[in-house]
Structure 1
């Protein structure tokens, strides 16, 4: 399934252990895709470990690239975050330039998807790593959404609350100004009800941390999202 049709995806952190049975449950859950990605301790070794184990299943797999060293062939997609509200140019275009110097000659551009990230939880690891120091308000988020679609022509605008459940009014504000750019939402989804609520607004729902705290609750988000018409 093409990523633009995804309504639900699980995000698996290469730095966190997960057994084969749980991985099978996620891959066979009916989710539209699995994203392999994390903030710290992402290595080629643990990315390859997940790739090999996930390739037993038919679910599409994307690598969300956070370090150039962890990039490896074999994924269906490569999601490239550019953090629009970062104060550090490294996370806007720095590592991207580094990656293109190293791998640009061999990239299949049909597999490369750029995500315009807007991080809304300044206390999370992603914010601390990328230099996000202030919480964008609604007008900021609208401006970043417009930047993603109209200025940079990005295929994805990603609202990242990373560990905290987002404000629906902020997500709705972003969705209202997007037309061709797809809205991803990630952060703090712990129940089927929360997944359904955000799926009624955003195009794609990303479920991550709850996988490691309550697998049954994580699996329940799949059907909840699918119950919402796109």
Structure 2
């Protein structure tokens, strides 16, 4: 995870054909993240994992639903939504998960993500009741919270469906010393991927996979040039 520059994110609730999936897995991307906001189940998650496992690419599960935790992933990401106003998504859901799965967790494979949701119209913003109207100073404050106060390995700037403000990613970059900056949201081609890769450590490419697979694949070389 510490060296990942480019990652594809696949939603278990969305259909993807075998040819497209093979193209993603064999594209020289650093990893595939499996995760989504709604309708993520054990069955559709394990089905997608089994298909990805036909290839050698590392595979991570971003846990958004305790009931959909599937063994067999290389890495597990646990989102901690820093700007959520619903406490269920700050710590309550995490405690529930630890009650059920705590004794079985291999902690060396687990990374907590300090999430900041920046698109107020996204499903994740509505679910977590996130306060998404963040200026650059607020982004810096959340970045310092994740990096210096909470010592989280990942600070994740999530625009979820729209392309974000590169100045806010720059602002986070200026104040973070140890956390990796993940950026996800609205990347529709190589130019946007390259622009955000100037300031984020890891670029997450998601929705365009289902809309234009060729543009999605072109983001790999743009980020890893």
> TM-score interval w.r.t. the shorter chain?
over 0.9
- C-alpha separation in 1, matches of 2:142 and 2:14: 31
Deviation string 1:77-121 (CA, Å, 9 cap, x unpaired) is 010000000001111111110110001001000111100000000
Residue 135 of structure 1 deviates from its aligned partner by 1.1
Residue 151 of structure 1 deviates from its aligned partner by 1.1
Cross-structure match for 2:118: 120
Give the secondary-structure state (helix, strand or coil) at the position aligned to 2:164: coil
Deviation string 1:26-64 (CA, Å, 9 cap, x unpaired) is 000000000000000000000000110111111100000
Cross-structure match for 1:68: 66
Cross-structure match for 1:32: 30
- C-alpha separation in 1, matches of 2:188 and 2:17: 20
Cross-structure match for 1:135: 133
Residue 20 of structure 1 deviates from its aligned partner by 1.1
Residues 30, 134 of structure 1: alpha-carbon distance in 2 compared, 3 angstrom cutoff: closer
Number of paired residues? 225
CA contact 2:125–2:132 (8 Å) conserved in 1: no
Give the secondary-structure state (helix, strand or coil) at the position aligned to 1:116: strand
Give the secondary-structure state (helix, strand or coil) at the position aligned to 1:5: coil
Residue 199 of structure 1 deviates from its aligned partner by 0.6
Long gaps (5+) in structure 2: none
Cross-structure match for 2:197: 199
Counterpart of 1:105 (choices 103, 106, 114) is 103
Pairwise mapping of residues 73-92 of structure 1 onto structure 2 (< 5 A)? Answer: 73-92=71-90
Give the secondary-structure state (helix, strand or coil) at the position aligned to 1:211: helix
Residue 134 of structure 1 deviates from its aligned partner by 3.8
- C-alpha separation in 1, matches of 2:131 and 2:82: 13
Counterpart of 2:208 (choices 194, 207, 210) is 210
TM-score by length of 1: 0.97
CA contact 2:114–2:154 (8 Å) conserved in 1: yes
CA contact 2:160–2:184 (8 Å) conserved in 1: yes
Instruction: Indicate the RMSD between aligned Cα atoms, in angstroms.
Output: 0.6
TM-score by length of 2: 0.99
Give the secondary-structure state (helix, strand or coil) at the position aligned to 2:2: helix
Are 2:46 and 1:48 aligned?
A: yes
- C-alpha separation in 1, matches of 2:92 and 2:30: 31
- C-alpha separation in 2, matches of 1:134 and 1:74: 34
Give the secondary-structure state (helix, strand or coil) at the position aligned to 1:217: helix
- C-alpha separation in 1, matches of 2:42 and 2:171: 38
Long gaps (5+) in structure 1: none
Instruction: Write out the 4+ residue segments of structure 1 that deviate beyond 3 Å after TM superposition.
Output: none
CA contact 2:117–2:132 (8 Å) conserved in 1: no
